[in-house]
Each structure stands twice: as structure tokens, then as C-alpha cells.
Amino acid sequence: MRVLVAGRRGQLATALIERLPRDGHEVVALGRPDLDLTERDSILRAIEANSPDAVVNAAAYTAVDRAEEDRDLAFAVNTIGPAMLAAACAGRDLPFLHISTDYVFPGEGGAPYDEEAEPAPLGTYGASKLAGERAAMAANPRTAVIRTAWLCGPEGSNFVKTMLRLGEERETVSVVADQKGAPTFAADLAAAIALMLPRLVAAPAGDAGFGVFHLTGAPHTTWHGFAEAIFEGAAARGRKVPRLSAITTAEYPTPARRPPDGRLNCGRILQVHGIRPADWRESLARCLDELIGPITKDQA
């Protein structure tokens, strides 16, 4: 089938461009100006010109802290854009798959959250993403939403690459140890989407394959625990690594509040789509192999 991906250079879009053709699918990944989520006519032209069988929205405004001052743009991209994209898909009876976030939850009790848990975002980013979920599902009954967390991989800007850079620059790196969640590697999320799409293309509205699903890596950890694993892997590959210091959220203030416990229950996507959370430790090893190089016999 032909899959139109909104987004072209982001982590997930890049992973989808690599992954979907392995299943024999054609991928058309478009970013601005070819597909601008803030322009309805741009969306309609992109879908008409490419005649996709399904559309995946891998584009988003993800600057969590900047969103607090750039609220209008965050909602334009994360709410109005998905609504217009979903409506355009509905006009052609196409399934729409949208990516959302654990930041729709407050993380202050109830984790690991399932899909029925009541959202209560702490900041503009989470609020805009939650509104986008709801707007997309209202516009197109053939919408599937995947809430994920801590997205990373060898492409783009992310926590893994930041830690590797800081490890080269500093003797000590301080990382928050009281925020819980789970890393999700873009390649694993792309593989899950590849598994979901054939069912979504064939299924009518009302099928259990549509709706909201949670998917992150496993097992759960903290940002500090994730950093430990990154530096252990880097050291095994011969990289200089810093001393790692655990700090609290209060010691690292940011403009936007983060959920202290954003762990997601990923049972529903296993039950409905047969997708298990990938072990992020194995995915991290593959990522470090790509970013640094594999562990040699001398290093093992």
C-alpha cells in the first residue's frame, strides 16, 4: 500500500521511511512546504496528489518548554493540524494514525496509566496534544492514536545524543532521578505502526483496531536510569564517560512541568494488535552501534 507520512526529517518519519518499504509499502513523507499542518489547502493538495491508502501523522510541535510562550503555534500544529488532516482522510475514507504523548497525564498518581485513565496535562504541550487526539478522533472515526514517550534514536535531537555529547564535554553530568517513564526508540515505534497499518486499511469504522493505544519501550525506568545505561554502553564502546549525578526535579527547574510518573500501561495494544513493548535496552545497544560503532572483541 501507499502510506503518506506527515513529517519528513523527524525521528519517527525517518524511521518509517526506512521501515515501511521492508514490508513492501510505498512511503511518501512530506514536510513543509509540501505538507504544512497549519494550512488546510496544503493538506488537501498533499492527499489528492499522492492518493494514499493510509496517513500517519509523525509531525508535531515538540518543544515542551518553548510551548509555554508559543501557545498559539503549539495548538496550531498539535491540535488544528491533526484535526484538518483527519478530516481530509475522512473525506476519502482513509484511516488516520496519529502519534500522541504521555504528557497528556499529570503523572501525579495512577501510573502506569491505561487508555481509560483521565488525562490532565500539566502544560501547553500536553494540552495541545490531548486536544489533537480528541479533534482527530472526532473528525475521522477511522483514527488510531498511539501515545508514546521519551522518543529517541540515531536521528534528530534526543536524550541519547544529548547524553553522549555532554559525556564528551563534562566531567560530571547531573540527571533527574525522580521522573519515571520508559524510552521508546523510533525504529520500534515504526515497526509497530507497520504491523498496525494493514488492519487499519482493511477495517471499517468501529473496529477495535481504532481508538487510543499506549506504546513505549520496556521496562520502566527513570531519566537517571536511562542515562546510566547510555553511559555504560558508551564506555563499552571505548567512549569517555562522565561521573553521573542523581538530582531531583526541584533541582532542575524548567518552564514547563513534566509528569513525575508518566509510565503507560501497554496492555491494550498487545491485546488488540498483538504488539509487545520492545526492550529499550536492546534498542539502545543498536542505537549506540550506529552512533559510536559496535563493541569490538578487544572491548568485550
User: Which residues belong to the active site?
Assistant: 125
Between the two ends of the chain, the Cα-to-Cα distance in Å is 43
**Residues 148, 182 contacting (CB under 8 angstroms):** no
What residues are paired with 261 via a beta bridge?
180
Q: CA separation (Å) from 275 to 114, 189, 269?
A: 15, 10, 6
- How far apart CA 137 and CA 88 sit, in angstroms, is 12
Strands 2-6 and 26-30: parallel
**DSSP code of residue 175:** E
**Residues 260, 200 contacting (CB under 8 angstroms):** no
- How far apart CA 207 and CA 135 sit, in angstroms, is 19
**Residues 262, 111 contacting (CB under 8 angstroms):** yes
Residues 6 or more apart in contact with residue 228 via CB below 8 angstroms: 244
Please report where in the chains the cell 509510565 appears, as a residue.
263
- How far apart CA 201 and CA 141 sit, in angstroms, is 13
What residues are paired with 113 via a beta bridge?
264
Q: Using alpha carbons only, how large is the chain's radius of gyration in Å?
A: 19
